């Protein structure tokens, strides 16, 4: 098979993100607010967070404040540092507020058409030198890049949830992503105190190519009545030493996001082993989106 063992040439990354001053974050949901927090905290960068929903911006501001308070309680930062970090983050409802950003991370709904529209708009309004990154869990970076006039400066920067605590960033190089763009993002990832891994741009990348079929199979196991939700999770926790059961993890990620990722895997590989479980579809239709809606496979008050 052509190219499967391709070895990527090493790229020097140290110091390559030094010119970044302002980061834009599109989408202030569970991922966007965490991304804004770590950019302002660990890299000391100014951050502009944009969301179409002002309630989401208010919630993001509260979530960041609470998260930083926990770091203060654990004596990992001082109260003064917390105020400084918060002072570096601005919240805005219009995309034009991101026009001076050096790098934008898009973290809106996992929908290719909606993301492409945002990338087109960002391409039109940001500086020609700006890097456009997506936090997508599964969607093709190459196709998002093709919606812009700067495909070399488009890249995947896939953070894990919850962003302030999880150490991994999966960096996805689209077909046209340049070494220079990769070097900036890899260096920034290190400044965020996170470990970067590189994935080639195929559906689900590394993380969700492996994780989401596991979650989907756990949902099939529930759907077919083989075990209760509690017992399925207990098997994976106590039997396989997973820190969280797959159904609890699905609720945490968001069932709408899980379904969107399964659809990307199924469409992308045209392989029935990636078909989303009907129960997952039904829960999403019912508005049971997991922790964020108060109900998923489990209930959250
Ligand atoms: P979320 O539903 O919590 O938040 C999405 C936010 O985007 C909402 O606040 C919504 O108002 C906003 N939004 C929607 N359309 C917009 C637009 N056109 N312009 C500006 N804002 C808009 O979703 P999330 O869980 O934060 O996921 C966001 C992205 O991160 C998705 O691509 C998802 O696949 C990815 N991701 C999620 C997880 C996870 O565990 N939830 C992990 C890694 C990556």
Task: Find the CATH number of the domain harbouring 103.
Answer: 3.40.50.720
Q: Would 40 be classed as within a structural domain?
A: yes
* pTM of the shown model: 0.94
Pocket test for ligand 1, best of 26, 53, 95, 109 (most atoms within 8 A of CB): 109
Q: Is the CB of 31 under 6 A from ligand 1?
A: yes
Model confidence at 18, in pLDDT bands (50, 70, 90)? very high
Rounded to the nearest angstrom, the distance between the alpha carbon of 162 and the centre of ligand 1 is 13
> What mean pLDDT do residues 214-235 have?
98
Q: Is the CB of 110 under 6 A from ligand 1?
A: yes
Please determine, for residue 1, whether its predicted confidence score (pLDDT) is greater than 70.
no
CATH number at residue 265: 1.10.1040.50
103 and 222 assigned to the same domain: no
Domain final position from 200, 224, 255: 200
* pLDDT, position 16: 96
Domain that holds residue 270: 208-289
> What mean pLDDT do residues 81-99 have?
98
Domain final position from 156, 176, 200: 200
Q: Would 13 be classed as within a structural domain?
A: no
Mean of the per-residue pLDDT values of the chain: 96
* pLDDT, position 189: 98
> What mean pLDDT do residues 63-77 have?
98
Please determine, for residue 112, whether its predicted confidence score (pLDDT) is greater than 70.
yes
Domain final position from 183, 200, 217: 200
Catalytic (active-site) positions: 137, 158, 170, 208
Rounded to the nearest angstrom, the distance between the alpha carbon of 116 and the centre of ligand 1 is 14
Q: Would 11 be classed as within a structural domain?
A: no
Q: Is the CB of 52 under 6 A from ligand 1?
A: yes
Beta carbons of 173 and 200 less than 8 angstroms apart: yes
* pLDDT, position 32: 98
Q: Would 240 be classed as within a structural domain?
A: yes
Q: Is the CB of 109 under 6 A from ligand 1?
A: yes
Q: Would 298 be classed as within a structural domain?
A: no
Q: Would 143 be classed as within a structural domain?
A: yes
């Amino acid at each position: 098979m052509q190219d499967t063992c391709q070895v990527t040439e090493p790229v020097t990354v140290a110091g390559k993100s030094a010119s970044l001053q302002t980061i834009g974050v599109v989408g202030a949901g569970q991922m966007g607010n965490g991304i804004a927090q770590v950019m302002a905290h660990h890299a000391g960068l100014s951050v502009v967070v944009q969301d179409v929903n002002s309630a989401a911006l208010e919630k993001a501001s509260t979530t960041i404040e609470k998260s930083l308070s926990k770091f203060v309680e654990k004596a990992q930062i001082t109260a003064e540092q917390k105020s400084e970090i918060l002072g570096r983050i601005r919240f805005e409802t219009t995309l034009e507020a991101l026009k001076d950003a050096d790098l934008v991370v898009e973290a809106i709904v996992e929908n290719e058409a909606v993301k492409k529209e945002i990338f087109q708009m960002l391409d039109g309004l940001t500086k020609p030198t700006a890097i456009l990154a997506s936090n997508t869990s599964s969607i093709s970076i190459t196709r998002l890049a093709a919606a812009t006039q700067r495909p070399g400066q488009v890249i995947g920067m896939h953070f894990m949830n919850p962003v302030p605590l999880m150490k991994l960033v999966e960096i996805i190089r689209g077909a046209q992503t340049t070494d220079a763009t990769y070097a900036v993002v890899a260096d920034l990832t290190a400044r965020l105190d996170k470990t970067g891994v590189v994935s080639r741009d195929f559906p689900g990348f590394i993380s969700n190519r492996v994780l989401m079929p596991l979650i989907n199979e756990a949902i099939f196991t529930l759907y077919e009545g083989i075990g209760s939700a509690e017992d399925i999770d207990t098997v994976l926790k106590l039997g396989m030493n997973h820190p969280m059961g797959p159904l609890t993890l699905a609720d945490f990620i968001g069932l709408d996001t899980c379904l969107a990722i399964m659809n990307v895997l199924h469409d992308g590989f045209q392989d029935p082993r990636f078909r989303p479980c009907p129960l997952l579809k039904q829960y999403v239709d019912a508005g049971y989106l997991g922790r964020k809606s108060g109900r998923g496979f489990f209930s959250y008050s």
